[in-house]
Amino acid sequence: MNPPMRIAYSTIACPLWTLEQVASKAAEFGYLGVELRSFDDLSVKISSEPFRFEPAIIESVFDDAGVNAVSLATSIRYDRVIDPPVVGRMCQDEEEGVRDTKVYVDFADRAGIEFVRVFGNHLPAAEPKTWSMRRVSDRLKLAAQTARNTKVRLLIENAGSFAIAESLLELINIVDSPWLEVSFNALASHQAGQCPIEAMRILADRLEVVKVCDLDHDGNPVKLGEGIMPIREMIEALDTMNYTGWIVYEYPKLWQTSDDGLDSADMLKYAADTLYGWMAKSTARC
């Protein structure tokens, strides 16, 4: 029997919960970890924003709950164009995103957090691909190097011009860093027109986190297993791939503009029970 996959949830599911509630509810519902969404400029209100706390406090809260703080999920990206190409270098940051990455990596290392999530993200259609790929890959390579001599690893998530697995793998191979792995978002893959299961197989050697959610045909969030996403089939595929990384459940409560959304606690408990049920049936086949 394969070692079990580990489940976690993203704090976008519970933007009003305190850090202590985030950790204690994870333990109560059976999650082994939590992905902490972070906005380093505090531009988005989320009560568990990591940068509101000292790193030692975060480590203590999660240790006390017996839960891992899996990753810091950031909005960092490396695609900003230098414009104009020559003069712009005098007044713009050629290493866009690298310094922010270092801040997050240092924070994560002190807080006992394993990963920092980043994006590529868009390659401009009006620019030769070789130019934009070089810009993104050069910055990403420098960003990954900030994890050197730490226990942290950078995770790049499929999105934008790198939503398709082949495109993301191309970028990763160019960067060729031992400090860079993959956070795979099943919804981003689905929206890009690629089967998430096939995408996971392409990225299998670099997978550390697989993010799952479910939605109906109109794009509204629903309970896991009640929508159009092939999450159960993904769990079975991951089992056959001997995957032992993290499954992170996302419910986008943070982005909802009204109070009509489903209850955070209900959604998280249901997702944990459902994932464990699928995992048990999957491993029983082995």
The per-residue pLDDT for 281 is 82
Length of the chain: 286
φ, ψ at 206 (rounded to 5°): -115, 0
* H-only helix segments in the chain: 19-29, 55-65, 88-91, 98-111, 129-145, 165-175, 186-191, 196-202, 231-240, 264-283
Domains parsed from the chain with CATH numbers: 6-283 (3.20.20.150)
Confidence of residue 187 (pLDDT cuts 50, 70, 90): very high
Does the pLDDT value for residue 89 go beyond 60? no
Task: Tell which residue, 43, 38, 41, has the closest CA to residue 19.
Answer: 38
pLDDT class of 261 with cuts at 50, 70, 90: low
What pLDDT, on the 0 to 100 scale, is given for residue 2? 55
Buried b (16+ CB within 10 A) or exposed e, 243-272: bebbbbbbbebbeeeeeebbebeebbbbbb
Q: What is the pLDDT of residue 67?
A: 98
State residue 249's pLDDT score: 98
| pTM of the shown model | 0.93
42's torsion region: left (phi>0), alpha (psi -120 to 50) or beta?
left
Residue 282's pLDDT band (cuts 50, 70, 90):
confident
| CB 279 within 8 Å of CB 1 | no
- pLDDT band of 88, cuts 50, 70, 90: very low
pLDDT of residue 95: 85
CA 138/CA 174 separation, integer angstroms: 9
